[in-house]
Structure 1
Amino acid sequence: MRLSSVQRVVSILAIVGIYVILANTLFPEGSFFHVSSYSVNLLGKYLCYALLALALDLVWGYCGILSLGHGAFFALGGYAMGMYLMRQIGDRGVYGNPELPDFMVFLNWDSLPWFWQGSDSFVWMIAMVVLAPGLLAYVFGAMAFRSRVSGVYLSIMTQAMTYALMLAFFRNEMGFGGNNGMTDFKDILGFSLQSDTTRLVLFGLTVVILAAAYYLCDRIVTCKAGKIITAIRDSESRVRFVGYNSASYKVFLFTFSAVLAGIAGALYVPQVGIINPGEFSPINSIEIVIWVAIGGRGTLYGAIIGAVVVSFAKTRLTGIMPEAWLFALGGLFVLVTLLLPKGLVGLFDKRFPAKKNTTAQENAA
């Protein structure tokens, strides 16, 4: 029996997750099968990027919305987690203030700003991880899509939004750590972030959430609403002419995608140990687009493959030739575009044929 793409992806993620956890705990250091704690952290970071790429592929690959602002949603989720982790430091910070983070003490703040109230609550953090990127995406999407902004104009607007947020978060008076951002995290829910066990739990949680997100994305694109979304990508005017409100579908998908990106950012921060305004950089959002294009746009699993492959290559090449990485990335993007228009997953199309997307004409009929 041929497995569906969901079963294949979830099975692979489960196998990788179980192997990494067992190899880290059961095999001693020096063993060929041992996976170091550093590698666990690195793999966890790659899977966070995979979730971010999956979020972009959902809107770009299936609805034709080329967003250059998903780095902003990722960073907002990361900052929500960073605020919670900073409050968990308490009096163990450099200045020993039990209420104020070190950067606020350094800047002579007298009290927590209003938007930090409740940030020591895990429930508050979870809510902000979802609400901050979700609300921004909903407001932005409602204004843009109902005004029928699309194509390159929409891409430029999302990039401008990201750049504006980056400039705002660089300012010390914003109350988010300014240029240095947030770091020196100690623990989460009372468990030390330096503990190998905590790192394994965070890695396992990332695997589970990525698998669940893939399942939800697949359900969205294969249900009736997903067929309408694909039809919008192929010919939005025809979809409107047959009576569908295309803007509502686009707003929903854009908001859901932003929430996934925010969750990816929240998982990323405790594993990497830092969040700063650099995550808002438009270059980061462009790099996410390259992950999806290289992996295979409009396939979901291609986005995961592209994010992991390109991130691994970046880790290796920046250690060997840091100045040449951007040239290598650009060259890889050009080669894939010219030789593999369907991305890396196009190499496996004949062996594992993907389910054919429904066209706009078929949907309209």
Structure 2
Amino acid sequence: MNKTDVMNKADVMKKADVMKKAIYPILVGLLVVAAPFLMDAFRLNLLAKYLCFAIVALGIGLAWGQGGMLTLGQGVFFGLGGYSMAMYLKLQEGGLPDFMVWSGVEKLPALWTPFANPVFALATAILGPMLLATLLGLLVFRQRVRGAYFAILTQALAAALVILLVGQQGLTGGTNGMTNFYDLFAWDLAEDSTQRGLYFVVAVVLALLYLGARQLVRSRYGRLLVAVRDGEDRVRFLGYDPATVKTVTFAISAGMAGLAGALFVPVVGIISPALLGVVPSLELVVAVAVGGRYALAGAVLGAVVMGYAKTAFSEQFADGWLYLQGALFILVMTLAPKGIMGVIKRARTA
């Protein structure tokens, strides 16, 4: 075999490999587009909800899987985004929000006034979590807090936020949170067409964030992030500042969670402390582990799979669905420590 034949064979194999890798994104894209035609309005709304959680999971995969930061408090950033959007939606009704009337509040609090502007509300939903994550990262990572200590700190932050929200009944709705949203930019949220449009918005946002995160991971910064995960002290000796690298990634993951919260509110129609405490944050981390934390696609897949499993188990086994969900996690982690994506990768190379 001469040199030309070898080069041609290599080109053919390369093209075949590219085509093989392109099959999965194409199939996913077709399923996303076909979903509104294959599902009723209720199931499509559930899928949109899972995709919102997938955005949060993508951020966790970036921070934990690529950066080694086990964050157990993403519910904090999700909640900040969700409450920002909820405040805007409530102000579209005119007058005082219903829960303030029930709580005896007679005048709209000054904190609420700027949220009548949708640009301000959306910017706060994204930039607010990023700012909080940046401040926390600069304080924590420069003190070289990492591992279990960092995880416990983020978990405590989630618990503290829940206590704060519950205690401010007249400002946040307390335990019940906020619900009864009717309009979004003059679109009736009760209409199936509006929910279908929101589903596509969530799907497009998730796709764009995934492509951006993948590009980030493949960049020089992404390689540096993985190096920090695998050997933080060695990276520091090479002249880089691991605290800055981790803070930037942590802030990006927080911004993703905030945006997911802002999308979640019009899709599901509620935001409450129960959706952003310690338990929901842990469930998202479990979902990322099930999907495969070292692959961004695994984080997204895990969130959708666990969301679907939670719904299916609760519908079929109302008394014991939590045990089945736990059994699913144990089964995947026992048979596939690298998650579902690890199984898929092994199948590709087999």
Q: TM-score, normalised by structure 1?
A: 0.88
* Contact 2:313 2:325 (8 Å CA) reproduced: no
Q: What percentage of aligned pairs have identical amino acids?
A: 40
Larger mean CA deviation between 125-134 and 11-20 belongs to 11-20
For 2:39, the equivalent position in structure 1 comes to: 35
For 2:233, the equivalent position in structure 1 comes to: 237
- 3-state SS, counterpart of residue 209 of structure 2: helix
For 2:7, the equivalent position in structure 1 comes to: none
* Contact 1:83 1:116 (8 Å CA) reproduced: yes
Distance 1:226 1:4 in 2: 25
For 2:196, the equivalent position in structure 1 comes to: 200
Task: Trace 1:37-52 onto structure 2 (pairs within 5 A).
Answer: 37-52=41-56
Larger mean CA deviation between 344-353 and 176-185 belongs to 344-353
Q: What is the alpha-carbon root mean square deviation over aligned residues?
A: 1.7
What is the CA distance between 1:111 and its match in structure 2? 1.6
* Contact 1:6 1:214 (8 Å CA) reproduced: no
Larger mean CA deviation between 230-239 and 317-326 belongs to 317-326
For 1:253, the equivalent position in structure 2 comes to: 249
For 1:71, the equivalent position in structure 2 comes to: 75
Q: TM-score, normalised by structure 2?
A: 0.91
* Contact 1:291 1:310 (8 Å CA) reproduced: yes
Distance 2:281 2:22 in 1: 29
Distance 2:319 2:141 in 1: 39
* Contact 2:103 2:170 (8 Å CA) reproduced: no
What is the CA distance between 1:9 and its match in structure 2? 6.2
- 3-state SS, counterpart of residue 66 of structure 1: coil
Distance 1:78 1:283 in 2: 17
Task: Trace 1:278-317 onto structure 2 (pairs within 5 A).
Answer: 278-317=274-313
Letter of the 1:107 partner, please give it.
S
Distance 1:216 1:132 in 2: 20
Matched, 1:19 2:23: no
Taking a change above 3 Å as real, the CA distance of residues 154 and 9 of structure 1, as seen in their structure-2 partners, is farther
Task: Trace 1:1-365 onto structure 2 (pairs within 5 A).
Answer: 1=15, 2-3=17-18, 10-21=25-36, 23=37, 34-90=38-94, 98=95, 100-173=96-169, 175-352=171-348
For 1:356, the equivalent position in structure 2 comes to: none
Structure 1: tracts of 5 or more residues without a match: 24-33, 91-97, 354-365
Distance 1:330 1:314 in 2: 10
Cα deviation per residue 1:333-360 (whole Å; 9 max; x = unaligned)?
222222101111111113446xxxxxxx
Cα deviation per residue 1:158-212 (whole Å; 9 max; x = unaligned)?
0000000000000135611111110010010000001111111100001100000
Larger mean CA deviation between 330-339 and 295-304 belongs to 330-339
Larger mean CA deviation between 232-241 and 8-17 belongs to 8-17
* Contact 1:10 1:211 (8 Å CA) reproduced: no
Structure with a larger share of its residues in helix: 2
Distance 1:289 1:5 in 2: 30
Structure 2: tracts of 5 or more residues without a match: 1-14
Letter of the 2:120 partner, please give it.
W
* Contact 1:9 1:301 (8 Å CA) reproduced: no
